[in-house]
Copies of this chain bind each other. A is one copy, B any other.
Amino acid sequence: MWNQPDLKISRSALATPSENYIFLIDLLLPKKSEVLHFLDAGGGQPERRAVVVVFYGCLEHIKEYAVGPLPNPTHHEDITLKKYKKEPPFTDRPVTTGEYALLFKFLNEKVFLKLRKVLKESFGVTHNKTLNSYESLPRGVQSGDRQTWISFFRDFSGMYIHPVGFEVLINHRSTNSSAWTVERLLYNGQYFQSVEELNKKYEAGNVNKIVYKSIPNYASLEPRVKPTGLGPQQHYIQGQRFSVKNNQVLYLDWSFAFGLSSLTGMRVFDIRFKGERIVYELSVQEAMSVYGSVAPGMLTKFLDSSIGIGRFAHELVRGIDCPYAAVYVDTFRYIDVSAAQRFRNSICIFEHDTGRPLRRHFADFFHNSYGGMPNSALVIRTITAIGNYDYLWDFIFYQSGSVEAKVHATGYISSSFKIHDSLKYGHQVAENTIGNIHTHFINFKVDLDVLGVKNVFQTKDMTFKEVPLPWLPGRKAKVPHLVEGQLKTEKEAALRYGTKTPRYLHIASNQTNRWGHQRSYRLQVVSFSGEHLPETEPEERSMSWARYKVAITKYKEEELTSSSLYSQNNMWSPAVDFSQFIEDDESIENEDLVAWVTTGFLHIPHAEDIPNTVTVGNGGGVILRPHNYFDEDPSVHSPDAAYIHPE
């Protein structure tokens, strides 16, 4: 497209907002029907295409194109309207590297150079000692806004927990940076209309001054003690029991393909067990956080997929991020750059001994015997460090036919400088530093195809019913009963957090197993989350998926993701509002069903989040478990099983 001079596309990664810029090139997923036709019916291989996102600064509009066939494209098609049913306004676009460069320049010229004395006395800023910045999102309070609170932090590694108490609101709506303005400043809890007002009041002694103090970097991750010991390590006695070829993995009875979207992150496709497809797609969709703060710099609502989750899948460290002996795979991305980038070792794949038996029984009644097997499972992992936070994304394949999607959070918390009222929003966790209360919400797309795409959504639960005891005439007892149901429309099947939902949720086929029960996979959600945001808040539409623990929709090519690249910067009228997927309340009976699963946890930061949040207890996920899918536990055929009986 660069070669089409009429498009006037800049080749610079520092293209300004007024230039035309290719922001993103990512794989365009072929239509599911075409893929299934190819995989299952001997049809032709679908054309490989890319999606190319162009920000037309000259025209102030955004276009998305399907470009194909890869690797030597000959045609492109504007898919913007098809994908979003509207053209996302230009202010919906993320801030590019080019715009950030202008913002830093603006900050330097219009703020830092004008506040030299204040910044020196307060924060030790000199010509070779600066402050680092961190943004609050969204950039305003209504569609079209593009004004961002930027807070400042000491120039340390792990700066996120070194707030200095200075924040600036910049309006950068115009594509012409000379029209940008400083809207407000916050210094030690006090607001100022302008740089001049701050300077004047500071000089006049009408400001509660912060006096710079040099402090050690408590955020440093440098070991405090000499690394002396190595903990236990896994090794493969008989070599590796899985293979990775291109993006295909084979592991015992499992096979799947994997990929990484720059925006949504890790995903696997065509998960099969003994050759039978169980899942068409299992993917990360969104990672969202809502923060509480008195200072605007931390009054933030992050939608990470708008920034790019997969974008930040960096190199994994052997022996820490994944076991030494894992297989490490490179990924390639083109997002907000001028040439495709290779990320070495950014996905790892390994077999892991969970340290527990998968199953076992010891018998000493009537028969003496022991049978069991260890629980070794295959893990595919990325870790995405999106600014301060690092999310671990695991998909785990068990020998019992279960697949688990798991997320853990680690990295740095976000923080704010301690001022009046700060403690209403969190605890103090370090010198002058508040760890702000926030939520973590994660959305997964789970497109189970149980024996084909035509499935139903089943529920099972227990209820106590009073029954007579036939051997005790006149006597009754309340006895657990199995209650089965089927939810038949999208609205019925949108299971809200905070409501009582059936304990067992199943994507089921109409085919039965040997014992006459519908073959199904159960979704077991592991979550510690609570309220995401009141629906009355205008930003809620951009995260409406978080209303539901599980929501089931009818598969649509136009509803591939629950969030979008444009949601963060237009939370008020987002390009994708998940709740609209279910608004038409379609039938989900014998349809291709997609489960959208939300998990998460409330995070009240505490001193032990310094320097980093630990993964223990800070996670969630969903387990996909066979439930009458097989006729018995498939792990009976595992070569790992052992049996002992006395002669």
Contact = CB atoms under 8 A, between A and B. Distances in A.
Contacts of A631: 607
Interface stretch (A77-85, A577-585, A636-644): A636-644
24 contacts: A141-B477, A158-B367, A169-B471, A221-B370, A222-B371, A222-B643, A225-B639, A228-B639, A232-B352, A234-B355, A235-B235, A292-B462, A299-B479, A321-B360, A356-B408, A362-B385, A375-B614, A423-B482, A426-B482, A428-B516, A608-B628, A608-B629, A608-B630, A612-B633
A572 interface: no
A606 interface: yes
Most buried by B among A355, A638, A641: A355
Contacts of A516: 428
Interface stretch (A8-16, A27-35, A55-63, A396-404): A396-404
Contact of A371 (B221, B625, B630): B221
Contacts of A230: 237-238, 640
Interface stretch (A111-119, A532-540, A547-555): A532-540
B602 A231 contact: no
Interface in A597-647: 602, 604, 606-617, 623, 625-645
B372 A321 contact: yes
A441 interface: no
Nearest to A157: B367
B427 A517 contact: yes
Q: How large is the interface on A (under 10, 10 to 19, 20 to 34, 35 or more residues)?
A: 35 or more
A309 B482 CA distance: 28
A238 B643 CA distance: 32
Contact of A400 (B184, B220, B290, B616): B616
Contact of A480 (B141, B290, B412, B627): B290
Contacts of A383: 357, 360, 362
Most buried by B among A374, A613, A645: A374
A221 B428 contact: no
Given A292-B481, A317-B370, A606-B628, 13 more contacts: A159-B366, A184-B471, A229-B238, A320-B373, A356-B615, A359-B615, A361-B611, A402-B617, A426-B482, A437-B480, A526-B526, A608-B630, A611-B633
Contact of A231 (B184, B241, B291, B528): B241
Nearest to A504: B604
A514 B432 CA distance: 12
A258 interface: no
Contacts of A503: 528, 530, 602
A317 B376 contact: no
A186 B470 CA distance: 10
Given A482-B426, A503-B602, A634 B608 contact: yes
Contacts of A411: 359-361
Given A357-B410, A361-B385, A632-B218, A229 B615 contact: no
A224 interface: yes
A553 to B, nearest CB: 24
A38 interface: no
A232 B376 contact: yes
Interface string A315-354: 1010111110100000000000000000000000011111
Most buried by B among A231, A392, A503, A524: A231
B633 A610 contact: yes
| Pairs A-B, 5 closest by C-beta atoms | A221-B371, A292-B480, A231-B376, A359-B612, A428-B515
